């Protein structure tokens, strides 16, 4: 293919002709991200809560998740491939491990940043530690948690593009097929949707993060509105 003759219309025609396959790759890409990220949230949030309750646990858990975070993504997937074999299962476990650090750390930081006066108010009306957690501390920490999910989601979308190297699918398959055949149209057809997906995820999750930020819910310059504490 003569690269000098490529135009935007060539790209449009290619996407139109292969829309079914590209859409399948796009759905697979999102599915792997959602499953990997979902597992990280289910495991990471309780770990973050545990970190906030125990200094020793915080040191151990954050140390381990930090180590996982700094391992190069390709190296992580190759190591997992030797254990789990080729396929999407390896990719999703890799995404889970890669997403743990921002979720655990941000949950931990968010819970530790809660104003002690809110805690005292809850204790004053007889709230149990569990009630303080889910009625007071967790609502105030949601914006931190959402920030961690936002970071993890953008990272995961990028990591999934190398999934084909370990037998996975997604938009990365189109990118690597384009590289192997020296076909720029295929590279763009995989890279552009992946980039747009990361941008949209960042914008949407950033919007949700702002909506969940209780410290910014003010009326006429009033003080931040704490979560509603009901007498028990």
Can you tell me the distance from the alpha carbon of 18 to that of 34, in angstroms, rounded to the nearest whole number?
24
CB atoms within 10 A of CB 135: 18
Report pLDDT for 194. 95
pTM: 0.85
Report CA 91 to chain centroid distance, whole Å.
14
Can you tell me the distance from the alpha carbon of 102 to that of 108, in angstroms, rounded to the nearest whole number?
10
Token output for 43: 């495991």
**Helix, strand, coil percent values for the chain (each to nearest 5):** 80, 0, 20
Report pLDDT for 5. 64
Report pLDDT for 135. 81
CATH number of 17-215: 1.10.3720.10
Report the candidate in 197, 230, 227 with the shortest Cα–Cα distance to residue 212. 227
Report pLDDT for 221. 44
Token output for 215: 């410290």
Report pLDDT for 214. 61
Report the candidate in 103, 95, 102, 104 with the shortest Cα–Cα distance to residue 59. 104
Residuewise pLDDT in 10s, the chain (232 residues): 444 566 778 888 999 999 999 999 999 999 999 999 999 999 999 999 999 989 999 999 999 999 998 999 889 999 999 999 888 899 999 999 999 999 999 999 999 888 888 778 877 887 877 788 778 888 888 899 999 999 999 999 999 999 999 988 899 999 999 999 889 999 999 999 999 999 999 999 999 988 887 655 543 343 444 555 544 4
Report pLDDT for 121. 81
Q: In whole angstroms, how far apart are CA 132 and each of 42, 119, 128, 228? A: 20, 7, 6, 11
């Amino acid at each position: 293919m003569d690269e000098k003759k490529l135009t935007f219309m060539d790209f449009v025609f290619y996407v139109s002709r292969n829309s079914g396959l590209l859409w399948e790759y796009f759905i697979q890409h999102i599915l792997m991200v959602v499953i990997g990220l979902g597992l990280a949230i289910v495991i990471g949030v309780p770990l973050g809560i545990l970190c906030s309750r125990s200094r020793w646990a915080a040191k151990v858990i954050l140390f381990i998740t930090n180590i996982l975070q700094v391992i190069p993504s390709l190296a992580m997937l190759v190591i997992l491939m030797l254990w789990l074999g080729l396929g999407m299962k390896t990719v999703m476990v890799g995404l889970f491990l890669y997403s743990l650090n921002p979720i655990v750390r941000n949950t931990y930081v968010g819970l530790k940043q809660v104003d002690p006066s809110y805690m005292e108010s809850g204790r004053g009306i007889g709230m149990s530690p569990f009630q303080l957690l889910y009625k007071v501390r967790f609502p105030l920490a949601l914006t931190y948690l959402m920030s961690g999910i936002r970071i993890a989601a953008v990272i995961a979308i990028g990591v999934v593009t190398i999934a084909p190297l370990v037998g996975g699918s997604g938009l990365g398959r189109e990118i690597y097929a384009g590289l192997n055949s020296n076909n720029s149209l295929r590279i763009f057809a995989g890279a552009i949707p992946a980039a747009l997906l990361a941008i949209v995820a960042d914008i949407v999750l950033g919007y949700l993060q702002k909506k969940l930020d209780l410290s910014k819910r003010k009326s006429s310059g009033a003080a931040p509105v704490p979560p509603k504490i009901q007498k028990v």
